[in-house]
Structure 1
């Protein structure tokens, strides 16, 4: 029996991303090595290619335990350091898409689901959506190759109609498969089956 990871879709349903903002958003817990590596890959290899095509693109980075040294190492005004935010909706409203270049599996993928629930188009890797029944090209855009990820970002930022498609499909996916109500119903079904399978208590 599997109970899916859940997200409060109602909490994010009124977020309207700024699809013309040219801002990418990454959120992660930086006590997790996979997120540290993702930022390094993004800033060393992927974003320089994006900026060659579109110097106006910005990357907003938010999350717990962000290393203080990053601001000095990557000293670029197009990188926006936000640290931990208990409520991501304002950042989501100011962003055009969610970018998660994760090369290592693990974690619960809640950040991907929250981004989808908020209507942010998602660009990620196969590891970024591991464990989710999301389809590349339908619910998100993905690649394992840094050059291709840079190209996907550059192309998508110039295709507002495609961004809207991904936004709607992501919201629908999150609500139908991962809303809290879905997870709660699955958990309730597990409890009911366990209760029915339990041996009856002996009469006194």
Structure 2
């Protein structure tokens, strides 16, 4: 293990050119072993394909590019990538390269580094959001052809390291994890696939539409224009596009002209997310989990406290709410303090202890894209969910059976109160929801979909 230029290369000594490395899994929370994934014929997997995973001819050599480390696993995109990537690495030879603050080695959880052929962190730094340096970077980017987030992750060092790896090693396919990292990916002759966890331009458009006319809305519209231009280009240039829902896949085809698009489902570890285990006491009646430095989450909770919360308190004045997630903005903390009955935790070691004991899980998202993994996690834990239509889009859930959908404040408040007061209704909804995710929404299925997509890219289909 050592540093070379701006990056540190970590190579598994067990890896060979024809086989990926193997390691004993030390993480007690990782319950799906390699034998579970690749030795059983599961519904929809196809036994012949599963068996072929053990042959050199079918083993893919994948170069996976990250915009930032997966550690800590504190955001939906990171959770999706990690759960799929760790399963993929058990049957294929995977090298992970990505931007990492100060070149830190934690691109993936430390205890599972041995699953990968090589880990290549590339030193990178970003200004702290809200700092003087951050705002100066935003101002400097106003005249650029590229949206701010695309400029933030553009790295000549990462581009150079990718070129070096491709020259030194043999790979079958390159996967760009998130659109944000694509400006750092050179043309090397490798087939390139972009994993689109969201329709990034749609997020900017919806965010802009949620704001009144003024400087902020104009800036968001400018971000949308620039992001849409780049997203269209990548969807047309890359050999494959991975979407997280059929709706997103259709958008990429219809709006951006992507010709080769595959859907990779969202999953959940239903064993890990169960109601059994430690919990905070006393538990809050309502709970929301999510990265609070993500604008869609902060905006959603702000809207909920302004428009929905007072209506709930009129009927049930003793109701409590827990807002669980990293880095809540100062304005939101003040709003929560003024609202009464609201607890803001900030970053926590384990969101499950705050979910257990709660009676309703809320998802008051007004803009965003992709799919919300948090909803599947709540469903797996037996929590009834009330969400906006945007919050639950792309998950394939039946309103009234798996989740209650409400976009107007009075309907959202009424749905929450209904579940708090009608135990039978809450238990029915929770039971149907858990059954749905346990039977149909697994990470193993998602990993198989991604694997099949990469094989199709290489076949030219």
- Tell me the TM-score normalised to structure 1 length: 0.86
Residue of structure 1 equivalent to 2:391: 128
- Name the counterpart of 1:178: 441
Moved more, 104-113 or 68-77: 68-77
Within 2, Cα distance between the matches of 1:143 and 1:14? 25
**Aligned to 1:82, what secondary structure does the other structure show?**
strand
Q: Determine helix, strand or coil for the equivalent of 2:298.
A: helix
Equivalent residue runs for 1:1-204 within 5 Å: 1-15=262-276, 23-75=285-337, 76-194=339-457, 197=459
Q: Which moved more, 1:72-81 or 1:122-131?
A: 72-81
Paired residues, number: 196
CA 1:14–1:155 in 2, change beyond 3 Å: closer, same or farther?
A: closer
**What displacement does 1:73 show?**
3.3
Inter-partner Cα distance in structure 1 for 2:293 and 2:440: 28
Distance 2:311 2:361 in 1: 17
Give 5+ residue unaligned stretches, structure 1. Answer: 199-204
- Please tell me whether the aligned partners of residues 105 and 130 of structure 1 are also in contact (alpha carbons under 8 angstroms): no
1:5·1:183 contact (CA, 8 Å) conserved in 2? Answer: yes
Give the TM-score of the pair, scaled to structure 2.
0.40
**In the alignment, what sits opposite 1:202?**
none
Of stretches 182-191 and 81-90 in structure 1, the one that deviates more from structure 2 is: 182-191
| Distance in 2 of aligned mates of 1:53 and 1:150 | 10
CA distance in 2, matches of 1:74, 1:29: 16
Instruction: Answer whether contact 2:371 2:392 (CA < 8 A) is retained.
Output: no
